[in-house]
Structure 1
Amino acid sequence: MAGKDIKLSLWALDPSINIESVSELMTLNYNKPIDYLSDRPGISSFDRTLMNRWREYKPDQGFEVQEIEVFDTTFRYIPAKAYFETTVGLNQAIVNGTVLPREYRISDNELPVFFFEYIGRVYVIVSGSEYKVSSIRKLLMGHGRHATEEQKQWQKVHLKDIPNYNFTSDFFYWLISKENQIVETSLVKMEISDIRFLAQTGTERSDVRHESQGANILDEAVSKTGLGVNSRVDKIGTTISFEGGHINLIIFDNGACWVDNYSSAMNGVAGELEAFEENLETGTLTLFCGILPELRTAYNTEKDDDKWTTGHQAAARKLWALGAINELCSENEITLDEISQLEWFFNKR
């Protein structure tokens, strides 16, 4: 059972890797010998080896390329599970000269992984904590120190500047401006019902980071002040509702997402609502193949049509700044005469 947040990391494979190649790479041998047991007599090969491998997402499914339709568009993908084992250190594994039984020194880990094709590139979505997620690259994607030449066929896994999923601060300003509005493209209508999380970092005059979380955060002076001074926004939390369900999530600038499992749901086969985790395969692919690309499409369309320009963002920032000033004046009973003595207004005389 997942916790409150389902953490979804996004990577991009090397352009030379296609979705069929992924199926082949999953069948390689990823077992790893435990160094401190390699020369120890009386230990079976199984007991001195970490059994790392790719597993089927569902029984008898294999690693065949599958298809899913998201917003009337067909995408090819492979669902899988990354299975890897970790071991305790030498001093914990061998007690009084005796190697402990395997179950006392080796732990198993299994994470869902979805490979999908989008605009000629294969992307990877991994669900899990950053610590475990990074182990997948090292142990199952040829990035470990002891990776074989065969395993290195995965080539470089890109973690930053992900094509088509790199979201700028201007994109986030645009998305914030859509709170409680409908965003529509040729494929889908999406309602942006609230902004519940906001991370702001630095301005030309400051490098201070601030994060706000909770209902109605855009009514708070701190959040409005940050937006008013054009701080850099690198992640926001919102709820996106569409015909197939609704997702309460935090979107990061590198394309990663944290989905609130307790308040996100997808339509099941019969149209009934299911928790996001219960429909993880469909929910995750809908998010990364549909929701995020369509948000990006809507943003680019408004920029191309001059419906979202530097002037529009400046106007939005001005409203947020005025809102912050109003709230601060109210909280501190600041008078108009006191405001007129501020340096900005005093110098305007």
Structure 2
Amino acid sequence: MARGRAKTKIKEVRLSVWEIDSSIALEGVIDNLRLDYNLPISYLADRADLQERDKTLENGWHPANGETDFSINSLNIANTDIRYVHASGYYEKAESEQKAVINVNGTNNTVVPRHLRVFNRSCPTVFFEIESKVYALVEVSNSEESRVRSVLFGQGRGDNKKEEWKKINYKEILQFSWDSQFFYWLLSKIGSSFSHESDPEYTISLLDVSAVAQLTTEQEYDSTSKGANVLGSLPALSGLGTNQSVYEAGFAFQFPNMTLTLRMSDNSTCFINSSASNIIGENGESLNIEQDYVRVVLTIYGILLLTLKRKYNSDVANRLWTVSQEQFQRKNWALYVIRELCEENDISLDDVKGILPESNN
């Protein structure tokens, strides 16, 4: 029996961007990173027979890349100096009391060794400053976001609450939020290049569209297309041609010394395809994302996304992208689908005319 080809699993780096309270600068961020984030394991708090570490979840922040202390650094990209702090968040999760305290030889209060009941997680984070505001780029899964905000950003209750962080905004961050109209505009720009306002010679080229995720107008059906040259995919173009709402799209961008393939969501989240991205080092060597992590994430959020948003807003303001132009683009996508289906199914022009209302013949 023939076996289907196994799909290659794509390795992605998921980045969430959160807006730090406007009263907190990078210097204040460093102060907050030095706070005590440890938490007691509630069901072991009264166990006098245990070492303190055995009944504590050890959470906190550490300087990244083996540094001994937190520091504010600066990176120049596209003639733009971006100040940042690179840190790694660490937090622990404990098993339930039923699994951590067990019956051994008739004794009901034996605590399982710590390494079998406490598990650690990490979240690399880059705090950066743009236009006098500080944002956090957090590498974290969707399921762990809430816990990270609660444990490491002081947004929880009780022992988790850290007033020093004040309010963290993780929804509808204006600088990095997109709507369906923006995605339609960007999808129409394949093959185009964009220059950064601080350095006209710094060019960003849109090479390809690698994914489109859409919802019908009534949000009844959700469709996703992935792969190279998605704009040659009939399912993707059918959705675009019928004005479905785009909430996520993937693109391949060429930068000076860097090629990145990533998905952008309307909620500001980005997914970097590690396998399909390449970075060229200062000496011409090929690097992966982890080896030039800060430059990659700041290129995306500090340069790329802001450049695209400025260009989109400029095109709309100058009527270079209007409702009628979007409609014209959708019409071209729809006509492409019709032509491909006609060729595939040997449908003649007379066949098409036969199903159209008489007023359109």
* TM-score, shorter chain, exceeding 0.5: yes
CA distance in 2 between counterparts of 1:169 and 1:143 reads 31
2:209 maps to 195
* Matched residue type, 2:156: G
| Residue aligning to 1:88 | 95
Kept in 1: contact 2:78–2:196 (CA 8 A): no
Alignment of 1:138-177 (within 5 A): 138-147=150-159, 151-177=162-188
Query: Structure 2 residue aligned with 1:65, among 59, 72, 87?
Result: 72
Runs of 4+ in 1 over 6 A off after TM superposition: none
- TM-superposed CA distance for 1:72, in Å, is 0.5
Secondary structure (helix, strand or coil) at the match of 1:313 reads helix
How do 1:230-241 residues align onto structure 2 when only pairs under 5 Å count? Answer: 230-241=243-254
Q: Distance in 2 between matches of 1:3 and 1:22?
A: 34
Aligned pairs for 1:197-276 within 5 A: 197-203=211-217, 207-276=220-289
CA contact (8 A) 1:93 1:100 kept: yes
Structure 1 residue 300: deviation in Å?
A: 2.1
Q: CA deviation at 1:243?
A: 0.6
Equivalences for residues 17-36 of structure 1 within 5 A? 17-36=24-43
CA–CA distance in structure 2, aligned partners of residues 19 and 291 of structure 1: 22
One-letter code of the match for 1:239? A
Secondary structure in structure 2 of the residue aligned to 1:315: helix
The structural deviation recorded for 1:148 is 5.4
Are residues 1:184 and 2:195 paired?
Answer: yes
Residues of 2 paired with 1:68 and 1:185: CA distance? 16
- Partner of 1:82, secondary structure, is strand
3-state SS of paired residue (1:207)? coil
Deviation at 1:3, TM superposition (A): 6.8
1:167-190 CA distances to partner (integer Å, 9 max, x unpaired)?
A: 121111111111123233433311
Structure 1 residues 277-296: aligned runs within 5 Å: 277-296=290-309
Matched-pair contact (CA < 8 Å) for 1:245–1:273 = no
- Secondary structure (helix, strand or coil) at the match of 1:55 reads strand
* Segment drifting more, 47-56 vs 205-214: 205-214
Q: Could you say what secondary structure the match of 2:66 adopts?
A: coil
| Whole-angstrom CA distance in 2 between matches of 1:260 and 1:209 | 22
Matches of 1:329 and 1:222 in 2, distance apart? 15
Cα distance in 2 between the residues matched to 1:131 and 1:244: 34
- Retained in 2: the 8 A contact 1:15–1:121? yes
Residues 100 and 146 (structure 1), Cα distance of their counterparts in 2 relative to 1, 3 Å cut: same
Residue identity in the other structure for 2:182: F
Aligned-residue offset at 1:279? 1.2
RMSD after superposition: 1.9
Equivalent of 1:304 in 297, 303, 317? 317
CA shift, 1:267, in A, is: 2.8
TM-score relative to the length of structure 2 = 0.90
Are residues 165 and 311 of structure 1, via their aligned partners in 2, closer, same or farther at CA, if it must alter by over 3 Å?
A: same
Counterpart secondary structure, 1:183: strand
Q: Which residue of 1 aligns with 2:106?
A: none
* SS of residue matched to 1:307: coil
Q: 1:313 aligns with which of 301, 326, 330?
A: 326
| DSSP 3-state at the match of 1:156 | coil
Of 98, 110, 116, the match for 1:104: 116
Q: Residue type matched to 1:140 in 2?
A: L
1:184–1:298 contact (8 Å) kept in structure 2: no
- Percent identity, aligned pairs only? 32
Task: State whether structure 2 residue 49 is matched by structure 1 residue 42.
Answer: yes
CA distance in 2, matches of 1:22, 1:199: 36
Q: Does 1:335 align with 2:360?
A: no
Number of residue-to-residue matches in the alignment = 345
Deviation, structure 1 residue 236: 0.8
Return the offset for 1:14.
Answer: 2.0
Question: 2:82 — aligned with what?
Answer: 75
